[in-house]
Amino acid sequence: MATLDIRDLHVSVDTDDGAKEILRGVDLTVRSGETHAIMGPNGSGKSTLAYSIAGHPRYQVTTGTVTLDGVDVLDMSVDARARAGLFLAMQYPVEVPGVSVSNFLRTAKTALDGEAPKLRTWVKEMGAALDALGMDREFAQRNVNEGFSGGEKKRNEIAQLELLNPRFAILDETDSGLDIDALKVVSEGVNRFSAQGDRGVLLITHYTRILRYIRPDFVHVFVAGRVAEQGGAELAERLEAEGYDRYTKAASTS
Amino acid sequence: MTTQPTAVQHAVETVESHLHPVASYDLADHALPTGREEVWRFTPLKRLRGLLDGEPSEAHLKVELEGPASVRVRELSTDDAVSLGGTAPADLPAALAVARSGGALLLDVPAEAELDQPIVLRLTGTSIDETVWGHVVVRVGAHAKATVVIEHTGSARYAASVQVIVGDNAQLDFASLQLWDDDAVHLGHVGIQVGRDAQVRSFQASLGGDLVRLVESAEYTGPGGEIVMYGVYFVDAGQHIEHRLLVDHNAPHTRSNVDYRGALQGDGAHSVWVGNVLIRKVAEGIETYESNRNLVLTDGARADSVPNLEIETGEIKGAGHASTTGRFDDEQLFYLCSRGVPPELAKRLVVHGFFADIVRRLGVPEVEQRLMAALEAELAENVGLPPAGVA
Ligand SMILES: Nc1ncnc2c1ncn2[C@@H]1O[C@H](COP(=O)(O)OP(=O)(O)OP(=O)(O)O)[C@@H](O)[C@H]1O
Ligand SMILES: [Mg+2]
């Protein structure tokens, strides 16, 4: 069993007026086999948390730790974190002109496994991953995310999740911008991933809609750069009914 | 990328332009450059190895032709070549090339011929100690369809005039590859005439040589024609690669699209791209877009990029340009690395993609593969990036 452990994480970004603190002491533990949902208002720092775990250079960790089975993650380069088993499905997946999905994924797979996948099985696997997300196989030949619709980009992220099969997946608003069919397809992908039993999921979302398809074991309310409350799946229902008002008020008076 | 695309109104707009001197065969019309002229100010004249002195030379590049049996190369006298009516030399090197070459090579694609195979003209130089003057005419008859590739390898001090004459309603894909050895010097002018309703795609790739400075121009011999000018260049330490373009919209309802991309690495690597588009009064209903993007891979390299639009009529469909010069896009690198790809390999994928995006449009698989392999080799050699698992 593996554990992703976030302790007292403080993160700043550089702005024209100097460093601005966005995460203010995040504590969160995700064990393999668990699905955690993070919900919180716009600007509360959810993507910052996701990017910081993945190692985006824009975010500076000022204090705190992130460990994977006790091993310091913050010390690792971005690619080393991926090889250690972390995966981030991005809120806004990046376009990479001139690099085909197929080439990109094969290069990633080779880097993760330390050897190139066998060509014939790989083509099949990639085709199957696209099929499973309801994507035409011609996407393999297209440039990464270039000209993809919002929904296609999100499907592509989950196709990658299934193909690369990390130990922990952080999904940043993978459900935004999806129509109801796409939401189902994407959720099924995440559920297949979780069903392996020893994978952890950190699901960032604004909507309980996706939580009807992906049942979280834990729900965290994220406000003003930290976890303001946690509970079970029922917490999501309450947030849907009541909104974040009482947390944001509490945060602004504290 | 540090510079954002600029809107058309920010372009330099002058009616009388000093940027593209009048084309002429007469040597007296082309003053000897001092380096202070606008068109020569970027070029290190010392490194031209005396080519502008115009000393006579009998030397020629070795010529090999590959392609459909129906197309031959013919030798023509200079007078006969000039009488074909191609664009006159735009600068002194090209004018000298016509005057000193002692005759031209003519590649003639007859009217209505549809070639299913590319014509590849291989020109090879033997030594940097040799001055070579070259004059090449490519003529594509009306309604014909052809692909012509001129490939330069080896070494020489070479100046050339290449005249491309495309007939009405013809389709030409034209590529000129500068794959010279490290010490070569290559100057000159590629002048393209686009017939009525003709479609021309030109592709310039400059990878080798110590100094390459090419003027590429397009003009229209009737309305409705289209020119696409693509280019890629890869500039290493100490190398100077200069592409100067002029699209002269001298006929109504014509279209042009310019997309040049370059990568630079190493100390003293210098690229120059000047893109001039002239929209004359008669050129109503035209459409033009030009773009130049430079990827600066290391410190010590310099990319000059100057787009110019000169507009004499407002009755056009569209005109725009963009020029960007910058380092790697951090977001792209982060995305690739976040999937486990090491940064050096990610950079390589990005550069590969940057070029592949354009090279793929060439539509001649053999040449595409050769070019991508040559670009890969450049990357491996100088940045020392490991081989990519790229297809
Ligand atoms: N470079 C920056 N300069 C200033 N502020 C920044 C910068 N980067 C992020 N921020 C701020 O940090 C805060 C947290 O942003 P983040 O993207 O993590 O929020 P989020 O919870 O993911 O929001 P959303 O729900 O809208 O996706 C926001 O207020 C944002 O404006
Ligand atoms: Mg966000």
Q: What is the pLDDT along chain A (254 residues), one digit of tens a residue?
A: 899 999 999 999 999 999 999 999 999 999 999 999 999 999 999 999 999 999 999 999 999 999 999 999 999 999 999 999 999 999 999 999 889 999 999 999 999 999 999 988 999 999 999 999 999 999 999 999 999 999 999 999 999 999 999 999 999 999 998 999 999 999 999 999 999 999 999 999 998 899 999 999 999 999 999 999 999 999 998 988 888 888 888 877 65
Best mutation target among A83, A103, A161 (most B Cβ atoms within 10 Å) is: A103
Q: Which residues of A touch B389 (CB under 8 A)?
A: 103, 106-107, 110, 116
Distance B26 CA to ligand 1 centre (A): 65
Amino acid present at B128: I
What's the gap in Å between the CA of A94 and the closest CA on chain B?
Answer: 6
Q: Residue A45 phi/psi, 5° resolution? A: 110, 15
Q: Structurally, how many domains does chain A consist of?
A: 1
Q: What is the CATH number of the domain that holds A174?
A: 3.40.50.300
What's the gap in Å between the CA of B381 and the closest CA on chain A?
Answer: 21
**A13 CB near ligand 1 (under 6 Å):** yes
In the numeric block, the tokens 């007292």 are attached to A8
Residue B58 tokens read as 């009998």
pLDDT in tens, B3-27: 333 333 334 334 455 556 679 999 9
Which range marks the domain in which residue A176 is found?
3-253
Could you tell me the sign of the dihedral formed by the alpha carbons of B342, B343, B346, B351, in that order? Answer: negative
Residue A139 tokens read as 């996407």
Is-contact A24 A10, C-beta < 8 A?
yes
Ligand 1 atom at minimum distance from A14 CA: 1
Domain layout of chain B by residue ranges: 27-327, 328-391
Ligand 1 atom at minimum distance from A58 CA: 1
- pLDDT grade, residue B388 (50/70/90)? very low
Residue A116 tokens read as 């190139």
Q: What is the pLDDT of residue B274?
A: 96
Q: Which residues of B touch A99 (CB under 8 A)?
A: 336, 349-350, 352-353, 356
pLDDT in tens, B102-123: 999 999 999 999 999 999 999 9
CB atoms A111 and B341 under 8 Å: yes
pLDDT in tens, B239-260: 999 999 999 999 999 999 999 9
> What are the DSSP calls for B39-91, one per residue?
TTTTS-GGGGTTGGG--------EEEEES-TT--EEEE-HHHHHTT--PPPSS
**A176 CB near ligand 1 (under 6 Å):** no
Q: Which residue from A minimizes the CA distance to B344?
A: A79
Q: What is the pLDDT of residue B18?
A: 54
Considering chain A, what percentage of its residues have pLDDT values greater than 90? 89
What's the average model confidence in pLDDT over B227-236? 97
DSSP count for chain B of H helices, then E strands: 5, 16
> Chain A residues within 8 A (CB-CB) of chain B?
54-58, 77-79, 81-83, 87-88, 90, 93-100, 102-108, 110-112, 116, 143-144, 160, 164
What's the average model confidence in pLDDT over B258-280? 96
Is-contact B221 B253, C-beta < 8 A?
no
Q: Above 80 in pLDDT, residue B180?
A: yes
